Amino acid sequence: MIRFTAEQKVANVAGIEVGGQPGERPTALIGSIFFSGHKIVHDSLKGTFDHEKARVLLDQADEAAARTGNPHLVDVIGDTGPALINYLEFVAEHTDAPLLVDSFSQKVRLEAVRHFAGTEVATRLVYNSIAEDYTVEELACLCECGVKSAVIMAFSTAQPRPKQRVKLLVDELLPAAARAGIDQVVVDLGVLDIPSIGWTALAIHEIKETLGYPCGCAPSNALFTWEKLRAQGSPAFEATAAATLAFTQCSGADWVHYGPIRNAPWVCSAVAAVDAMRAYGGRFSGVRPVSDLHPLYRIFG
């Protein structure tokens, strides 16, 4: 089992601990809702949707997380400010999970952050994300609104190699996060396609080994655009996806973004099995779960 040399940093992301040596804490799971093309959305500009179907999806994710012991975060995606705000209000009401504030538009993300500043929901928000295209306005808004947790996207198409991603993180993104007042950081190493996950895994290992920051990625970004795989349907898709998630875990990933939230039940089972094996193997290197809620005890106990 992997045991990293650097002292490992543990982020408290809206009440969930992410990070540490492999085997200490369960892998955190992130599922998306209201994404582009999500069938439960009626109008993506206004943010209208099928409330009952959304509630079922959130309940399923919560139940799966409780069953395995893997903490769950909800990636809430919106095309406009009003839509994202509406989505976040609904999700905050129907789950206790941390909420990722997500949009392809920085303007939309910041509008949502400003809306919830000073509210009870604000402490549950995780900004997604601070990337190489960050702006001074963005950092100032996050600081002003008191956002403390954020995903740091350490990826650039111009600097795709593992060590280049580490340099981008250290030289540019961590200082930017500090200026924004972010003190709970999780690092996303980015994914372009399925083969690139190999480089992403190397980057995860490098950062964990040298800096100790909680790391992860979103293999789903590649899996759901892999047309040949999707054409094979089920169970080929789920089997390949489970193997891909496990590959990142075995490289040291502390969290994984698995894509649409509807997949939470089988994703939790697959990820929890790897967590249990990592934890059991960690006994030989002196690493043990920090809680009896770990998948090692949940799924085999």
- Tens-level pLDDT at each residue, the chain (301 residues): 799 999 999 999 989 999 999 999 999 999 999 999 999 999 999 999 999 999 999 999 999 999 999 999 999 999 999 999 999 999 999 999 999 999 999 999 999 999 999 999 999 999 999 999 999 999 999 999 999 999 999 999 998 999 999 999 999 999 999 999 999 999 999 999 999 999 999 999 999 999 999 999 999 989 988 999 989 999 999 999 999 999 999 999 999 999 999 999 999 999 999 999 999 999 898 999 999 999 999 987 6
Q: Is residue 246 part of a domain?
A: yes
Amino acid 221: pLDDT = 85
Instruction: Quote the domain boundaries for residue 40.
Output: 27-283
Q: Is residue 254 part of a domain?
A: yes
Q: Is residue 301 part of a domain?
A: no
Sign of the C-alpha dihedral computed for residues 12, 186, 278 and 223 taken in this order: positive
Q: Is residue 61 part of a domain?
A: yes
Sign of the C-alpha dihedral computed for residues 225, 231, 235 and 236 taken in this order: negative
Q: Is residue 21 part of a domain?
A: no
In the chain, the amino acid numbered 3 is R
* Cross-strand bridge partners of residue 49: 41
Q: Is residue 298 part of a domain?
A: no
CATH of the domain at 190: 3.20.20.20
Q: Is residue 143 part of a domain?
A: yes
Total tally of structural domains belonging to the chain: 1
Amino acid 118: pLDDT = 97
Q: Is residue 58 part of a domain?
A: yes
Among 276, 277, 274, 278, smallest CA distance to 293 is for 276
**Gyration radius of the chain's alpha carbons:** 18
Amino acid 1: pLDDT = 76
Amino acid 159: pLDDT = 87
